[in-house]
A and B are shown apart, each in its own frame.
Chain A
Amino acid sequence: MLLFSRDTWQEIFGSIRKNKARTIITVIGVLWGIFIYIVLSGAAKGLDNGFEEEFKDVAMNSMFAWAQQTSVPYAGFKTGRPIQLKLGDVRTLASRIPEIQYIAPRIVKGAFGGEAGNVVRGQRTGSYSIYGDFPVLSKIATQKIYVGGRFVNQGDIKEHRKVCVIGERTQKELFAKDEDPIGKFIQIDKVFFKVIGVKKYEEGGGFAEDDDITIPFSTYRKLYNTADNVGWLAIAAYDNVDVIKVEEDVKKILKSIHQIAPEDERAIGSFNLGEIFTKINGFAKGLTFLSLVVGIATIIAGVIGIGNILLISVKERTKELGVRRALGATPSEVRGQIILESVFLTLIAGIFGIVLGAFVLRGIDYVSQDADIPYTNPTVPIPYVLGALFLMVVLGTLIGLIPAQRAVSIKPIDALREE
């Protein structure tokens, strides 16, 4: 078998070694191609992973809705009327829109301007955003609480307990380094609250900060006298539901409850994570596709380079090939040798390119570790790598056919004719 004979490979190594410069230049062509391919698709994958990491704590099919001011006069009200969402809206929405899986009314003091809560503990003080929340929030946006603590629960709501979940920074600022904050008390706007948990801060988790304090919604409304007022709604739809449709329905119902003109685009604000996520996902997918196209095009260019250089090399070796033919090499043996040279060069270059690309990806990963870039674990799936190698072998064979045919078409007599 030609492919596995040691002699065949010796012949190929011989002719490759003969012209080192040619071999190196050829190899660099393809190496560059596969290198670009690997780095691009790896980087695209890294971005993709990065985005996924950013959104992993938030339900993908979630949305937020809040009230603003009307911009259209309606039902006897003049324009510019401020709208206040109420707890009753939650029940209406949940019963009217079956696609809603979870709905969590939220309210905050200090996050969007306005006065933050004054927090005192012994000699230490600080002012932090105070959130009033229901336990259901954790179904929509994962609340990571450090071991030993817990998030607000239904009992807290029912009994208006004065308990709070504090942020990482709040803990640092209000407690000593080795102090366990769980069970300790802090004063929020002159009322003592028991700390029940410390929330782990996740970067990129929307507008949450690392010093937020969460207390039960029922406690909040008593503390700040907000009655039925709701700051905004966090809503998660079921997985297989079109969240954009849910968003429209939510706004429509809120408008009818609060007597807002149906055509008023400004009165109810909303933000749809599903849509954003789809867009970003599409962007990442597009990037992956682009890198695939660019990478493959570069590989093709490199392989064509190999064909080109082999063509020149065949011309240079006209005489040698003539001698081989005179000594009894059959056309298929000559053809086979040239094609194998082409495939071999392509493969070697490909493997070097993959290794080099992997190193560069590793480097990028290392550098971007601490940077504020959504970039995680850049990898190229094995099927992509194998696919690229396969593509290179096929292309190497095809492109090798041209110089091989050329080599065979030279008659030995022409090759040996004296100049």
Chain B
Amino acid sequence: MIEIKDLHKSYKIGKNLLHVLKGININIEAGELVAIMGSSGSGKSTLLNILGMLDVADKGSYTLDKVPIKDLDETKAAKYRNKFLGFVFQSFNLINYKTALENVTLPLYYQKAGRKERHIKAMQYLEKVGLADWASHLPSELSGGQKQRIAIARALAAEPKVLLADEPTGALDSTTSYEVMQLIQEINDEGKTILVVTHEKDIAHMCKRIVQLKDGVIIEDTKINQVRASEYV
């Protein structure tokens, strides 16, 4: 599903060049649930941004579902993001003046789907995350865990190839974290490829593979026995 070869990225900070990613090679198959771990500054967020086409690599190749991702202008990147990727953020990033349902329909809106279709699909995914009853509520009326589940529903609504989650449990307490992880595992069980950036060991161990980043290189890449989140709940 994802093929990355010799990926380099550096940032200019003042006069210094900060080399963040120093040759990343990774292959992720369809249906995998991968945790990307590393301390802050290890380059894991940069990697996720490049995977998410929010940022462009200096060097190296990136292939997503056999489509080479290169020479992206903003419009093309937006189209690819909309088609291939679903995002889940640490701080949910729901639009606060839109109801849960409207938030979920947003990627479908940008896909130019019809009104009815958007509504039906969004309700489907709200049901999937167990929040159909909260469809008409504003994000401010929801708890953190609920917000994240809405965000997951939004990410899934566009039916992306890959779900990218940047610290999806970073702002949640552990019980809620496990609930969210349980949902992510269930989605993965259905065959969705998911990448989770985290620095929490227990969250990482709920994935099927852990990629450890340090100073811009992968120092460890192991398949693990998944811990089911339902055991904690």
Contacts and interface: CB of A to CB of B under 8 A. Distances in A.
Contact of A325 (B78, B90, B98): B78
Interface stretch (A44-52, A330-338, A353-361): A330-338
Contacts of B111: 328
Interface in B87-120: 87, 89-91, 93-98, 102, 106-107, 109-111, 115
Indicate the member of A11, A14, A320, A416 with the most B CB atoms within 10 Å.
Answer: A416
Contact of B110 (A328, A412, A418): A328
B82 interface: yes
B189 interface: no
A245 interface: no
A293 interface: no
Given A7-B109, A320-B95, A416-B89, A326 B52 contact: yes
A105 B97 CA distance: 82
B191 to A, nearest CB: 22
Contacts of A18: 96-97
Contacts of A413: 49, 54-55
Given A18-B97, A320-B95, A416-B54, A331 B74 contact: yes
A411 B98 CA distance: 22
Contacts of A320: 95-96
Indicate the member of B79, B97, B158 with the most A CB atoms within 10 Å.
Answer: B97
A327 B79 contact: no
Interface residues of A, number: 27
Given A319-B93, A326-B54, A327-B106, A14 B74 contact: no
A6 interface: yes
Nearest to B151: A323
A332 B78 CA distance: 10
Nearest to B90: A418
A328 to B, nearest CB: 2
Indicate the member of B81, B90, B91, B102 with the most A CB atoms within 10 Å.
Answer: B81
Nearest to B164: A326
Given A18-B97, A418-B91, A330 B54 contact: no
Contacts of B107: 327-328
A326 to B, nearest CB: 5
B8 interface: no
Given A325-B81, A330-B78, 14 more contacts: A6-B115, A17-B97, A323-B93, A324-B95, A325-B78, A326-B54, A326-B81, A327-B82, A327-B106, A327-B154, A328-B110, A328-B111, A328-B158, A332-B75
Interface of A: 6-7, 11, 14-15, 17-18, 319-320, 322-333, 408, 411-413, 416, 418
